[in-house]
Amino acid sequence: MAGIAYVNGAYLRSSNAQVHIEDRGYQFADGIYEVCLVIDGRYWDAEGHLDRMDRSLKELGIRQPMSRASLRTVMAELLTRNRLKDALVYMQVTRGVAPRNHPFPAAGVTPALVMTARRFNLDDNDARAKKGVKIITQPDIRWARVDIKSISLLPNVLAKQAAVEANAVESWLIKDGKVTEGSSSNAWIVDDTGAIITHPKGREILGGITRETAIACARDLQIRVEERPFTLAEAAQAKEVFITAATVLVMPVIAIDGQKVGDGAPGPIAAQLREAYKERARSA
C-alpha cells in the first residue's frame, strides 16, 4: 500500500490511519467496496465501478458518502499525494459509527469512507498472462446476495487461501454442480465452436465490470458470447479457460485442479480478448 490514505475527510499516513472501534464495517461487515484500476493516470472502467458502487449502497440502504464529482476529486488527490500513475484504488463505504446493535442505527449517522491506493505493474501482469495461471475448485458457501459488493468476504478469503496453499492463483466456486465464479474474479470457458461462456448475471455472482467490458470486446470481435451456467466437466473439455477482474484483466488459465486445460498453454481467444480489452480501456 502507498503511504497516504483517505479516511473520513482526512489524508493521513497509512501507518497512522484509523477507524472507530464501533464502525459498523468493523463490527458487522456492514459496508461495500470497489477496486478501480488506473493506468498512466487514466481510470479504466471507472464509471462502471462507480455505478456498481451506487447500486451496492442502494441495496444495503447506505447513504452516499459524497457526490460522484467529490469522490472523483478525492480519488485524483489520493493518486497525486502518493505519486502514482499506475495503481489499484480501493474504496470502502460503511454505514458509519454507532453503538453496537444489529438493527440499522437511527437517522443521522454519517457513512464512513476509506480510500487507499497501491502500485500496479501492468508489465508484470502481462508477463503472467503470457504464461497463464493455475486454479483450483472449492464449494461455493457464500451468502445469497453475492451480487452486492459487500465487505463480508470470509468465504472468499477461505477459498483464496485454499488456492494459495495449492500453489494456484484462484479458486472457482461450485454450486449445484455449476461453476459460479472465482473467489475474486469471473469465470469463463471457450467451447469447441469458439464461443465464450460465462455465468449470467444475477444474485449468484458479482457482475464484474471487467466482465462487462470483456463481453463488449468479444462482440466487437464477432466472438459469440453465451451467458449461461457451465459445469466443471465442460471446463475440463474446454479449448480455453480464463478469468476476468480489474486486478487481472483477462487472464488465461492453463490448469484446473492439476489437470491441463487444452495443451496447457494460454489460448488465442483469451490473448485476443485481453489485447482488445486493454485497447478499449485506454481509448475510453
Per-residue pLDDT tens digits for 81-113:
999 999 999 999 999 999 999 999 988 899 999
pLDDT at residue 261 is higher than 90: yes
Q: Which three cell numbers stand for residue 262?
A: 487444452
Strands 133-139, 170-175: parallel, antiparallel or unpaired by DSSP? Answer: parallel
Cα gap 217→157, rounded to integer Å? 30
Concatenating the DSSP letter of every residue in 181-220 gives EESSSEEEEE-TTS-EEEPPSSTTS---HHHHHHHHHHHH
Q: Does 149 participate in catalysis according to the annotation?
A: yes
Which of 65, 100, 120 terminates a domain? The answer is: 120
Instruction: Residue count of the chain, please give it.
Output: 284
CATH number of the domain within which 21 lies: 3.30.470.10
Do residue 132 and residue 43 come from a single domain? Answer: no
> Using alpha carbons only, how large is the chain's radius of gyration in Å?
19
Run of H or E including 39: strand 31-39
Do residue 136 and residue 272 come from a single domain? Answer: yes
CB 193 within 8 A of CB 223: no
Do residue 52 and residue 89 come from a single domain? Answer: yes
Query: In the beta sheet, which residues pair with residue 97?
Result: 23
Which residues have CB under 8 Å from 98's CB, separation 6+?
22, 24, 105, 109
Categorise residue 40: left if φ over 0, alpha if ψ from -120 to 50, beta otherwise.
left
Q: Which three cell numbers stand for residue 44?
A: 479504466
CB 114 within 8 A of CB 71: no
Structural domain including 22 reads 4-120
| Mean pLDDT of the 58-83 span | 97
Q: Which three cell numbers stand for residue 261?
A: 486445460
Model pLDDT, residue 2: 63
Q: Which three cell numbers stand for residue 89?
A: 484504488
Do residue 145 and residue 44 come from a single domain? Answer: no
Model pLDDT, residue 277: 97
Do residue 251 and residue 140 come from a single domain? Answer: yes
Catalytic residue among 58, 131, 149, 260: 149
Model pLDDT, residue 284: 75
How sure is the predictor about 54, in pLDDT bands with cuts at 50, 70 and 90? very high
Q: Which three cell numbers stand for residue 147?
A: 451480487
Do residue 15 and residue 113 come from a single domain? Answer: yes
Q: Tell me: the pLDDT tens digits for 141-184?
A: 999 999 999 999 999 999 999 999 999 999 999 999 999 999 99
Do residue 181 and residue 233 come from a single domain? Answer: yes
Model pLDDT, residue 283: 87
Question: 212-233 burial by CB neighbour count: b if 16+ within 10 A, else e?
Answer: bbbbebbeeeebeeeeebbeee
CATH number of the domain within which 264 lies: 3.20.10.10
Q: What residue type is 152 in one-letter code? A: S
CA 94 to chain centre: 18
Cα gap 281→144, rounded to integer Å? 31
Q: Tell me: the pLDDT tens digits for 109-140?
A: 999 999 999 999 999 999 999 999 999 999 99
Model pLDDT, residue 115: 98
Do residue 52 and residue 145 come from a single domain? Answer: no
Average pLDDT, the chain: 96
Q: Tell me: the pLDDT tens digits for 8-40?
A: 999 999 999 999 999 999 999 999 999 999 999
Which of 97, 120, 143 terminates a domain? The answer is: 120
Do residue 113 and residue 161 come from a single domain? Answer: no
Cα gap 85→52, rounded to integer Å? 23
Q: Tell me: the pLDDT tens digits for 239-250?
A: 999 999 999 999
User: What's the domain count of the chain?
Assistant: 2
Do residue 131 and residue 112 come from a single domain? Answer: no
Cα gap 116→47, rounded to integer Å? 18
Do residue 147 and residue 88 come from a single domain? Answer: no
| Mean pLDDT of the 44-65 span | 97
Which of 120, 148, 171 terminates a domain? The answer is: 120
pLDDT at residue 1 is higher than 60: no
| Mean pLDDT of the 191-204 span | 97
Do residue 11 and residue 135 come from a single domain? Answer: no
Which residues have CB under 8 Å from 284's CB, separation 6+?
44, 45
